[in-house]
Structures are given as structure tokens and as C-alpha cells.
Amino acid sequence: MTQNTKLGCLYGIGVGPGDPDLITLKALKALQKAPVICVPQAANRRDSYALSIVKDYVTPEQEILRAPFPTDDAEGAARVWREAAKLVIERLEKGQDVAFLTEGDPMLFSTFSYVLAGVQEMCPQAPIEIIPGVSSVMAAAASSGAPLVTHGQRLAILPAAYGLEDLSQATDKFDTVVLMKVSPKIDETLADLKKLGLTGQSTYVRRVSTDREKVIKDVTKITPEDMDYFSLLIVKNDSAGNYAKEN
Amino acid sequence: MTQNTKLGCLYGIGVGPGDPDLITLKALKALQKAPVICVPQAANRRDSYALSIVKDYVTPEQEILRAPFPTDDAEGAARVWREAAKLVIERLEKGQDVAFLTEGDPMLFSTFSYVLAGVQEMCPQAPIEIIPGVSSVMAAAASSGAPLVTHGQRLAILPAAYGLEDLSQATDKFDTVVLMKVSPKIDETLADLKKLGLTGQSTYVRRVSTDREKVIKDVTKITPEDMDYFSLLIVKNDSAGNYAKEN
């Protein structure tokens, strides 16, 4: 790095679940000020979802830096994310601020985590500011019209990899369990919910807050056309116990 | 209700964790358009936190409707919340839109839940729109500089009432456990974290995103002056197992 150049700042920006109006004022200001906008970009995808959400706020003067998005291969993934972090660091070392966009919130199941880790490791002196966003979890609850949790209740948020025993234990202990990115496992999950007697207490939400949003309160009515990468299930269990019964 | 008057819409609005810039564009638009702004107001409090966050966006023409906030008495609480819902319904029946403000997100441990339930029950035909917000959970993770959860991990969010067994089981199963409104139980909680060997993996965050924010990464350094009603602990457990080991 050139000693005379001040390092740019890396902004990790949550742009919200999909509706461009669900961006925060703070995120919008940081996004509009940054000369470089970085988005994760899978090789097999035509565009970035996060970028599509904010496309009306971006000007032609801003550079769009597309950070390669790794495949599922765990070892290769680390290398690809390091490459992405290096691309970001190159801009920071030129003194340019970089706005890294992420749908939802940057600290919840976000690709930003990996770039953040790379930058923290390879360029620890770089200033970093993280701007939280509205998560699809909260947006889905809003669209469903039912609270996630009220006073004294417990919430669990699980990623796509779960099985019957997993789900049974989670729903047993938590008043509400949110299953993220549920579409690829929807058939098994619906079968598991049926075994647990929780079919009637589950709500499926797809592409929340967009014009493709669909909220399905009777999950037995879900069809293959309802599937989407951005989908989740909210499962309530009115008879969930506490962890420690003596409490 | 007068048959000729169209019912107003109840907007449940998350104004975010404290920084006025962490409101969404959507929430701001709804807030600025509503003739009536409703905030929960405890008898022993001078002002509403949610209202203080957005005070610069409110005009003198807007009515501030202060909905009584119940004490902890469970039976009395239900009655007080019904009274609050009735106040809201009065305005809706006059055709006025009501913006009910809540700090953070309206569906996560929010007082809005109770008013929502009352309005849904007593005035089921009232239009309702819920606008999600940035939760203090996500904002605290952003301020801490560490992701809440990455791909494949599990997150639990627990309210203030927990004990050692509770905490032990949650941290055993979840990669990250967030303990909400932790201040009143901080001494017991720190003792419990020590017993579980998780002191070094815990971060305390107070009044996130405001000028009173404090992030304490060495929780053994927490003092009574650091306490605040709006406080939480993020506990990581790198050795957390899955629910079902076979997965």
C-alpha cells in the first residue's frame, strides 16, 4: 500500500429483504456515497439479488465490483472468498470506500461474513463500518401478520440443514422456530411437521416484501411453483416448554 | 362505527434500534403520512423510547396518542392492553390512520403485539400494515464486528428469564445465543457463563447505535454504570453441537 494514501472504508450494508423502501436511511447514504459497490456474484447467476434491490439508487459513476461467489466446495470456497476480499482490499488501498451489499442483514447468514473475515485478516488496519438491515425473518413475520415472539418467549433460527430429530427438539424448546431457505427440503420438512403435529401452526413465506411475495398459511397447499431460493417457514409451537422446567 | 366512514389503517412500524438513520424509507413515509402516532407509555416513564428515536420526523400537526403500558401483573396487563387497543380503534373508526411506533422490529418482543391482537379481535375488519424494522440483535452484531451466524449455523434468541440449565442447553445446541434485556440478571448470567467456560466468547452491548452505545468484549469488565434497560449479550459457542448428531 502507498503510505501516503488513506485507506478507504469497507461498508457492510444490509439492503433489506427485497422491497427497495425497506433499506434504511443510513444504508442508502453510505451506498450513494461509495465510489465502489461490491456484490457477491455466483458464476451461474445472471445478477446479484442485493444489487437488484437497490438498482434505482446506483449511478453510472459508481463502479460495480462483482466478487466471485464460491460453489459449495468447502475447501475451494475459502480460496474464492479470499480472492474476493483481495479485490476489496485493492480498492481500499487506493483510498476508495467500498460498499459491500447484502440482502437482509449483513450479520445473519450473509456472504459479507466471509469477505469481512478476509479483510480483517489480510488488512487489519482497514476501517470497517457495518450497517444492519431488515432481515427476511422479521419481514416474513410482518407479512404473516403474526408476531415472531412476544414477551418471555424463545426464538430459534435454523439454516436449511435439519432433520426430524433436529426439528422436534427445536420446536419442543422454542415457541417459534424459523427454518431458512427451506425450498430444497420442503417435502421432507412438511412430512416432519406433520409427524410433529405442527402443520397447522406453520406459515411459508417466499420472496418477502417483493412483488413475488407469497404467504401460505395452509402449508398443505404449497405447490412446486411456490418454491424459491428465498423462502422460509415460521413454525409456532404453543405447547413449547422451557429448557429448564423449574424456571 | 359510522357506516359512511372508511376505517383508517393501523401501521405497526419498527423504527429501528436507536439511531434515527436506522429507520427504513418505508417506515419513514408511513410515519410522516399518519395523522395519529401511537406510542406505548409506561406510567413511570417520562417519555417513549420509540418516539424519541423519530422525534425529528414528527410534526406538530400529528397527534401523539400515548397508549398506557401495563405493569408486570399478567391479569391487569391484558386489560390495559385492551384499553390501548380501544384507543387505537377509536381513531381508526374516525377514518384516521394510526402509526404505532415500536423500537427495533414490531414482531420481535414488541409491545405492538398486544395492541395488534386487541385490534384484530375487537375490530377484525380494520386494515393493518406491518413495516419491519432493524432489530437491536442485528445492530448489536454489527457494532460488535462479528457475524451472528454464518452458513449452516444456528441462532437462538432468549428473553430475560433464563437460568444456568437453560443457558447451558441453549449454548450446547446453538452456535450463537442472544440474551435480551440482560441487565437485571447480569451478575447471575456472568456467573453462569463462567461455569460454562463461555466468558471469553461473550459480548455485552448496551443502547446499540445511539450515543450511549457501549460494546464490551471483555465481559469481566462490565460495571454497574454499564447497565441499561436496552442491553443484550451475544454468546458464541464454537463447540456447539447440532441437535441431531447424525446430521
Interface ipTM? 0.94
DSSP state of B43: T
Residue B98 has what pLDDT?
Answer: 98
Distance from CA of B70 to the nearest CA of A (A): 12
**In this structure, which topology does domain B136-236 adopt according to CATH?**
3.30.950
State how far residue B225 is from chain A, nearest Cα, in angstroms: 26
User: How does pLDDT run across A3-53, given as a tens digit for each residue?
Assistant: 567 999 999 999 999 999 999 999 999 999 999 999 988 776 778 999 999
* Per-residue pLDDT at A147: 97
Residues of chain B with pLDDT under 70: 1-4, 44, 71-75, 241-247
Residue A125 has pLDDT above 90, yes or no: yes
A positions 31-90 inside 8 Å of B (CB): none
Go through A55-66 and write b for each residue having 16 or more CB atoms within 10 A of its CB, e for each that does not: eeebeeebeebb
State the fold for domain A10-131: Cobalt-precorrin-4 Transmethylase; domain 1 (3.40.1010)
| Interface contact flag, A107 B16, Cβ < 8 Å | no
Residue B4 burial by Cβ neighbours in a 10 Å radius (0-12, 13-18, 19+): exposed
Helices (H) and strands (E) counted in chain A, each on its own, are 7, 10
Kindly determine whether residue B24 and residue A158, on different chains, have CB atoms separated by under 8 Å.
no
The pLDDT tens digits for A85-122 are 999 999 999 999 999 999 999 999 999 999 999 999 99
Whether A243 shows a pLDDT value over 90: the answer reads no
Chain B residues with CB-CB distance to A138 below 8 A: 14, 105, 107-108, 132-133, 135
Tens of pLDDT along A195-220? 999 999 999 999 999 999 999 999 99
Domain boundaries in chain A?
Answer: 10-131, 136-236
At A166-200, the pLDDT tens digits run: 899 999 999 999 999 999 999 999 999 999 999 99
* Residue B109 touches chain A, beta carbons under 8 Å: yes
If you write DSSP's letter for every residue of A200-236 in order, what string do you get? Answer: GGEEEEESTTSTT-EEESSGGG--GGG--SSEEEEEE
Give me the residue label for grid cell 433436529: A166
Q: Does B157 touch chain A (CB under 8 A)?
A: yes
